[in-house]
């Protein structure tokens, strides 16, 4: 048995290591979202018909995809530019990113509500004003949460992000329970709409509260304002061609996969897919969290190597992966036997895919910190195209399991490409260390 002194020593060492501390805080945020999200969807799955859950999850997936396309890469621009900026510049950077990112999200959501139902019959629920309004609100909620979380990551203030997301996740459960109680009292409810409201409203409210009280806590003297934000447009254009394209090709497949499942198989199948996907998400969120912390460390001039980042990922992913491989069917069975029957093999494939996914995410963070954006875009493009093309082809043949096969194949292809690129790069540069020297950090921090 481990002694209390040993555990306390590990905690103290993690507290002194900025990369480990902020990685763990970002991952704690993931655990909070995953654990409370698991409870949220368990309640929804047991109290709401699967078809209605499927409709709600399909709309949330579409909103996530819209937000991914429209947030302009402002989040990683925050990580790159906020460290060391004065209060005035900080206010202008964050205000411009939030305003233009939100505006672009609204436009993209309206466009999606007009176009998607016309080309995908299974998304007919988006047609009309209620569907468009629901998509806009959900997409804005995702964009606000994503950008504000990156402000905290930029300052290596993971504790603030953890508290924010804890309140949001708990708020979703409370709101859902209130709505379910109202339904049990005889109130007529659109169940898919009720699930969507309970998922969206707490995110919007907490984001609004963060905008009011967050800036001064992170940068004394800063406040969000509209004056001067037009000066940020050139920076945002640069972020679109740099950070945003990397982000789209990296996270786009995860956002689009549930949309493809709905388009090819319908809302009922998406309900089974989404709950297995959500269960595996606790693994898929670890390496992006460490990658974000690694990038933030380097933009704050800390010489952090890939070996340390990889060790953090393996330490956190190992035990949950073993548990999910061994007990995944039982975990899905807590929703209902149907979810276990349909999603058991899918969950195992997703768990295995977490390892090559981590390889690619850490490699992208490493090359991004060195300003090698082209390499990052190409690597992520291989992953994205492989996953989405295979998913579109395999879903009608193998059902939701086809999505898992496509995801594993795409992640494996990109991880193998990392090995090839690393070998090619090492040949002329043998003897260079993984750690970024101070001059490299200054150079990468000046890139847009």
pLDDT digits (tens, 9 = 90+) for 377-404: 888 888 899 999 999 999 999 988 899 9
CB under 8 Å, gap of 24 or more: what pairs does 156-160 form? 156/18, 156/21, 156/22, 156/293, 156/296, 156/297, 156/300, 157/218, 158/21, 158/22, 158/24, 158/25, 158/26, 158/28, 158/29, 158/293, 159/25, 160/214, 160/217, 160/218
pLDDT digits (tens, 9 = 90+) for 96-147: 889 999 999 999 999 998 988 887 777 877 887 888 888 999 999 999 998 8
* Plot region of 221 (φ>0 → left; ψ -120 to 50 → alpha; else → beta): left
- Whole-angstrom distance, CA of residue 225 vs CA of residue 262: 40
Give domain limits for the chain: 13-428+441-445
- Whole-angstrom distance, CA of residue 196 vs CA of residue 182: 15
Return the half-sphere exposure (C-beta side, CA atoms, 13 A cut-off) of residue 218: 31
> Mean pLDDT over residues 206-223, rounded?
85
Question: Among 421, 246, 297, 279, which residue's Cα sits nearest to residue 354?
Answer: 279
Neighbouring C-beta atoms of residue 183, cutoff 10 Å: 15
- Report which DSSP code applies to 127: -
> Mean pLDDT over residues 358-363, rounded?
90
Question: pLDDT band at 408, cuts 50/70/90?
Answer: very high
pTM: 0.65
Judged against a pLDDT cut of 90, whether residue 188 lies above it is answered with: no
User: What is the structure's pLDDT at 251?
Assistant: 77
């Amino acid at each position: 048995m481990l002694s209390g002194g040993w555990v306390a020593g590990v905690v103290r060492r993690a507290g002194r290591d900025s990369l480990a501390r902020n990685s763990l805080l970002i991952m704690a945020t993931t655990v909070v979202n995953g654990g409370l999200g698991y409870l949220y969807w368990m309640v929804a799955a047991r109290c709401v018909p699967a078809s209605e859950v499927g409709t709600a999850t399909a709309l949330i997936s579409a909103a996530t995809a819209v937000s991914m396309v429209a947030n302009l890469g402002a989040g990683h621009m925050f990580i790159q530019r906020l460290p060391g900026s004065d209060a005035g510049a900080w206010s202008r950077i964050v205000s411009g990113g939030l305003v233009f990112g939100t505006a672009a999200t609204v436009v993209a959501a309206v466009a999606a509500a007009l176009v998607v139902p016309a080309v995908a019959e299974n998304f007919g629920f988006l047609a009309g004003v209620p569907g468009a309004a629901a998509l806009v609100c959900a997409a804005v909620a995702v964009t606000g949460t994503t950008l504000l979380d990156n402000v905290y990551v930029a300052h290596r203030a993971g504790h603030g992000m953890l508290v924010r997301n804890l309140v949001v996740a708990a708020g979703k459960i409370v709101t859902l329970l209130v709505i379910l109680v109202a339904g049990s009292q005889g109130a007529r409810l659109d169940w898919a709409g009720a699930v969507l409201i309970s998922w969206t409203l707490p995110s919007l409210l907490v984001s609004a509260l963060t905008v009011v009280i967050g800036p001064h806590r992170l940068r004394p003297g800063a406040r969000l304002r509209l004056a001067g934000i037009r000066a940020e447009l050139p920076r945002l254009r640069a972020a679109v061609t740099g950070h945003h394209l990397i982000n789209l090709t990296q996270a786009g497949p995860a956002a689009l996969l549930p949309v493809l499942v709905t388009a090819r198989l319908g809302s009922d199948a998406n309900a089974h897919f989404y709950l297995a996907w959500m269960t595996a998400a606790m693994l898929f969120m670890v390496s992006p969290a460490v990658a974000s912390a690694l990038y933030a460390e380097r933009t704050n001039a800390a010489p952090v190597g890939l070996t340390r980042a990889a060790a953090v990922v393996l330490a956190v992913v190992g035990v949950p992966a073993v548990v999910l491989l061994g007990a995944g069917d039982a975990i899905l069975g807590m929703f209902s036997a149907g979810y276990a029957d349909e999603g058991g093999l899918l969950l195992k494939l997703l768990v295995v895919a977490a390892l090559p996914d981590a390889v690619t995410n850490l490699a992208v963070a490493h090359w991004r910190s060195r300003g090698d954006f082209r390499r990052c875009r190409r690597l992520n493009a291989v992953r994205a195209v492989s996953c989405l093309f295979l998913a579109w082809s395999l879903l009608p043949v193998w059902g939701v399991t086809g999505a898992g096969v496509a995801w594993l194949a795409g992640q494996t292809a990109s991880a193998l490409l990392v090995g090839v690129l690393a070998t090619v790069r090492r040949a002329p540069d043998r003897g260079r260390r993984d750690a970024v020297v101070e001059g490299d950090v200054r150079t990468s921090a000046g890139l847009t």
